[in-house]
Amino acid sequence: MPGAAGDAVKGACMKTLSTQVAIIGGGPAGLMLSHILDRHKIANVVLERRSKAYVLSRIRAGLLEPGSVKMLRDYDLAERMDAFGKAKNGTGIVWQNKPDHFIDSMKWTGQQMMAWGQTAITEDLYAARERDGAQLINEAENVVLHDVAGDAPWVTFKQGEADYRLDCNIIAGCDGYHGPSRRSIPDNILKTFELVYPFGWLGIMAEVPPLPDFTYAYHERGFALAAQRSAMLSRYYVQCDASDRVEDWSDDRFWEELLARFPSDMAANITTGPSIEKSIAPLRSFVAEPMRYGNLFLAGDAAHIVPPTGAKGLNLAFGDIHYLSRALDWHFNRKDDRYLERFSEMALRRVWSAVNVSWRLTKLLHIFPDEDPFDDKIRQNDYDQLVTSDATASALATAYVGAPFED
Ligand code: APR
Ligand code: PHB
């Protein structure tokens, strides 16, 4: 039994632990919150259902907004990112039979993005939490939240053969879309908003040199994306049918389809090679409101999901943690609840901005199976405006770098 459980009351049927903040979920949101709370001397325990190896094996997007980059630097988590990540001035768009466009964050906002993968960030977060002696409990089963609306919430869970009760002041629900936290909010309080897209993204990782820029491709065969992790690690995606299975896609089929969706001069520069990972992600937009119920606060995928177009998922999770960690610092250390009271409202403003831009980009860049010629005409016109109007280009670049954090 690691960390906190070492302090458990011995001999009791149910071992009891206590802390200030119980964090459900040890993905990037939960680990980042734990790390920042530690800096503010706020005791916390992270309960994670999976093993560390499993959490670190998940591959997600790799494009950071300036706000996320700053957070990593502010909390001493940026050493590897600054050594090996690649600063980017924006992201390219190539469009069949139309001029290229560059979503130029540098030109329109003076800010850069950073190419740096979520897997590496999670590794660094784990390393920092272990180095600092975090109470991080992996393979916590049957996590149940109790009395979340009251002043003394508590959490029960099982690890191995032992049952635990964790008393706390605050619960942070950082347990992703499928976790129990959001479901602890009564149906008559929680409002959800959802859009499921009628296609998926098939992504592969390959140990080959990437194209220089992140580039979205619009093509009548469907969307494609060239992304990157390092000088010798490429990440590529193609839009696929919602019903496709990974087994339907050999490496050869993937590369053939990818190359067909990029203009021939770019396709000629794409280095192909065996995939080291291949997976299909469904696309959805989802928001749960409010993000607070009593002493339960939701953050990250527990409260919202965005389609990967725009790579907003991790950036949004970090935005939530920025607001939540500040609110908890003021609550515990200054006995001032001004930010706790405004957490949900502030976080949701940023969430909806990201939901909005990722929805707009998804509609712009994908062919929808049920669309009619009118929809296609509107999409083509949207792109024409982007290419010809500085105001449209500036608006997209501004949304793409992410909304600033509110004071
Ligand atoms: N008990 C404990 N932990 C749980 C439970 C549970 N019942 N259910 C889920 N979890 C854990 C998951 O195993 C996972 O490690 O919660 C964690 C949630 O992590 P993520 O899903 O990575 O979500 P989040 O930390 O909010 O990060 C958001 O990561 O998922 C991507 O696209 C997403 O990039 C975004 C970012
Ligand atoms: C990625 O790096 O995997 C990535 C980048 C940009 C996106 C989506 C995914 O819009």
CATH (domain of 295): 3.50.50.60
* Average pLDDT score, the chain: 96
Dihedral (CA of 112, 67, 125, 204) sign: negative
Q: Tell me, in angstroms, the distance from the centre of ligand 2 to residue 117's CA.
A: 9
In terms of domains, do 203 and 258 share one? Answer: yes
Q: Tell me, in angstroms, the distance from the centre of ligand 2 to residue 210's CA.
A: 13
- For residue 152, being part of any structural domain is answered with yes
In terms of domains, do 71 and 99 share one? Answer: yes
Nearest CA to ligand 2 atom 4: 61
Percent of the chain having pLDDT more than 70?
97
- For residue 108, being part of any structural domain is answered with yes
217 within ligand 2 shell (Cβ under 6 A)? no
Question: Residue 115, exposed/middle/buried by CB under 10 A (0-12, 13-18, 19+)?
Answer: buried
**Is the Cβ–Cβ distance between 162 and 74 less than 8 Å?**
no
Instruction: Write down the H helix ranges in 230-337.
Output: 251-261, 264-267, 313-333
- For residue 349, being part of any structural domain is answered with yes
In terms of domains, do 107 and 206 share one? Answer: yes
Q: Tell me, in angstroms, the distance from the centre of ligand 2 to residue 370's CA.
A: 25
Counting the structural domains of the chain, the total is 2
**How many CB atoms lie under 10 A from the CB of residue 50?**
16
Planar angle of CA 282, 175, 22, nearest 5 degrees: 170
Pocket test for ligand 1, best of 56, 59, 301 (most atoms within 8 A of CB): 301
Give residue 213's domain range.
63-116+197-283+368-401
**CB under 8 Å to 184, separation ≥6 — which residues?**
145, 148, 173, 293, 296
Please report the atom of ligand 1 found closest to the CA of residue 55: 15
Dihedral (CA of 342, 26, 315, 348) sign: negative
In terms of domains, do 179 and 204 share one? Answer: no
- For residue 5, being part of any structural domain is answered with no
Nearest CA to ligand 2 atom 3: 61
pLDDT of amino acid 59: 84
- For residue 87, being part of any structural domain is answered with yes
In terms of domains, do 77 and 110 share one? Answer: yes
In terms of domains, do 396 and 290 share one? Answer: no
In terms of domains, do 69 and 45 share one? Answer: no
47 within ligand 1 shell (Cβ under 6 A)? yes
Question: Residue 374, exposed/middle/buried by CB under 10 A (0-12, 13-18, 19+)?
Answer: exposed
34 within ligand 2 shell (Cβ under 6 A)? no
Please report the atom of ligand 2 found closest to the CA of residue 235: 3
173 within ligand 2 shell (Cβ under 6 A)? no
Nearest CA to ligand 2 atom 10: 310
Please report the atom of ligand 2 found closest to the CA of residue 227: 2
**CB under 8 Å to 236, separation ≥6 — which residues?**
203, 204, 206, 224, 225, 226, 227, 254, 258, 270
pLDDT of amino acid 61: 86
Q: Tell me, in angstroms, the distance from the centre of ligand 2 to residue 26's CA.
A: 22
162 three-state secondary structure = strand
**How many CB atoms lie under 10 A from the CB of residue 162?**
13
The DSSP element (H or E) to which 379 belongs, if any, is: helix 373-388
pLDDT of amino acid 2: 39
Regions of the chain where pLDDT drops below 70: 1-12
Please report the atom of ligand 1 found closest to the CA of residue 314: 34
In terms of domains, do 208 and 185 share one? Answer: no
- For residue 10, being part of any structural domain is answered with no
30 within ligand 1 shell (Cβ under 6 A)? yes
- For residue 6, being part of any structural domain is answered with no
pLDDT of amino acid 12: 55
- For residue 7, being part of any structural domain is answered with no
28 within ligand 1 shell (Cβ under 6 A)? yes
Structure tokens at 387: 């290419």
Q: Tell me, in angstroms, the distance from the centre of ligand 1 to residue 358's CA.
A: 20
> What DSSP string runs through 271-293?
PP--EEEEEEEEEEEEEEE-SEE
In terms of domains, do 349 and 215 share one? Answer: no
Query: Could you tell me the CA-to-CA distances from 134 to 36, 166, 290, 306, 328 in Å, in that order?
Result: 11, 15, 29, 30, 18
In terms of domains, do 313 and 331 share one? Answer: yes
CATH of the domain at 382: 3.30.9.10
pLDDT of amino acid 339: 98
In terms of domains, do 156 and 301 share one? Answer: yes
In terms of domains, do 201 and 274 share one? Answer: yes
pLDDT of amino acid 9: 42
331 within ligand 1 shell (Cβ under 6 A)? no
What distance in Å separates the CA atoms of residue 2 and residue 353, rounded to the nearest whole number?
Answer: 40
